[in-house]
Structure 1
Amino acid sequence: MARTIAKDHDQKRSQILKSAAKVFAEQGFDRASMTQLARECGISKANIYHYYDGKDAILLDILDTYLRDLRDRICGIELDGAVPEDRLRRVIAEVLLAYQGADHEHQVQINAMSALPADQQKQMRLYQRDMVRFVSDTIQVTAPEVFDGNADKLRSATMSVFGMLNWYYMWNTGAGSKAREDYANLVADLTLKGVKGL
């Protein structure tokens, strides 16, 4: 007879992922053990194995859940009816707000994604590319006369925006929503007022 799924299965799974992301971020994926993960989760090691075969499976689920949800949130922003400048402001703000509370997951993405097999890394990069393409398209329509036919310039502008956002994210991890929105407006102003002169 198959074992039934507990009512709190999804909640426990989310708890394991959050706790494991903290351990992987602080200890490093290679150095982290299932014993450490169990201790951080406040459950037995045997209980973790009820959810995951090992830490490789946990790593994949952390990154897949984080990047897929981030991609869906960013690419799902409602922009209909907004002028290009307002679209860019909404997208930039949403990226910073989506990063809030995900410090450990972001560090795991940066430091441990290479531990995944090549096919799994490829899927994670597809999520990232979807987001970059969405932001790039949003930037492109703010100054089509600058970017049409110049993919290199558009890519440079797009990655510069991500660079500004990631700088803030890495150095202001405890910032609240208001501070993030204020900085998002600064990035939007720099981008909108700067692209015309590129």
Structure 2
Amino acid sequence: MARTRATDFEEKQRGLLDSAAEVFAELGMEKASMAQIAAHAHVSKALLYHYYPSKDALIFAIIATHLEELDEAIEQADDATLAPEQRLRKLVGTVLECYRGADNQHKVQLNATSALSDEQKAEILALERRIVKHFALVLRQINPDLDDPQRPLLTPVTMSLFGMMNWVYMWFRDGGRITREDYADVATTLILEGIKAVR
């Protein structure tokens, strides 16, 4: 007879992912061990392995969960009825809000893809592309010339915006004089003003 799933399975699973992300972010993917992660999460190694059979599986789950939650938030926030400039600002704000409290997960995403299998990398890439597509569609609305086949600048401009958002964890601190909302305005303005000059 199959074991039934515990009612708090998802809560425990999320707690393990958060603890593992913290350990990976502090020690690095190579140095962090399953024993250290279990100790940090205050669980046995046996329980950790029950949820995640390997360190690679744990790394993949951290990245995939982080991106799936980001993708879902963007999907819900994306409003095609808004003017493109307002729509872009809402998307940027959504990403920066999703990054609140997720620095460890973000570090794992940026630094641990080499630990993944080709199949796992393909799944992560598909998630990333889905997220990026939302922004590319809006930027193309704002400046259709970015998608000129002779000089395709839509991807470089879109990824430049993601560069501004993805590296914010390196310097941004909640509680400072600049809020996430302030920075969302800055990043959006830089892109909106910048792409006017892109030819």
TM-score by length of 1: 0.91
Per-residue CA deviation, residues 163-190 of structure 1 (Å, 9 max, x unaligned), is: 22223232115358x7111111111112
Q: Which residue of 2 aligns with 1:114?
A: 114
Contact preservation (8 Å) 1:25, 1:104: yes
Q: Which amino acid aligns with 1:140?
A: R
Tell me if 1:147 matches 2:146. yes
Unaligned runs of 5+ in 1: none
Contact preservation (8 Å) 1:103, 1:173: no
Contact preservation (8 Å) 2:78, 2:91: no
Give 3-state SS (helix, strand or coil) of 1:147's partner. helix
Give 3-state SS (helix, strand or coil) of 1:53's partner. coil
Unaligned runs of 5+ in 2: none
Contact preservation (8 Å) 1:16, 1:48: yes
Q: In structure 2, what is the Cα distance between the partners aligned to 1:183 and 1:109?
A: 22
Matched residues, number: 196
TM-score by length of 2: 0.90
Q: In structure 1, what is the Cα distance between the partners aligned to 2:34 and 2:28?
A: 13
Q: Which residue of 2 aligns with 1:160?
A: 160
Contact preservation (8 Å) 2:84, 2:138: yes
Moved over 6 A (4+): none
Q: Which residue of 1 aligns with 2:62?
A: 62
Q: Which amino acid aligns with 1:12?
A: K
Give 3-state SS (helix, strand or coil) of 2:153's partner. helix
Q: Which residue of 2 aligns with 1:85?
A: 85
Q: Which residue of 1 aligns with 2:179?
A: 179
**Gap change, CA 1:120 and 1:86, over 3 Å in 2:** same
**Gap change, CA 1:160 and 1:104, over 3 Å in 2:** same
Q: Which amino acid aligns with 2:24?
A: F
Q: Which residue of 2 aligns with 1:131?
A: 131
% identity of equivalent residues? 42
RCO greater where, 1 or 2, for CA within 8 Å and sep 6 or more? 1
Tell me if 1:46 matches 2:52. no
Tell me if 1:13 matches 2:13. yes
Give 3-state SS (helix, strand or coil) of 1:89's partner. helix
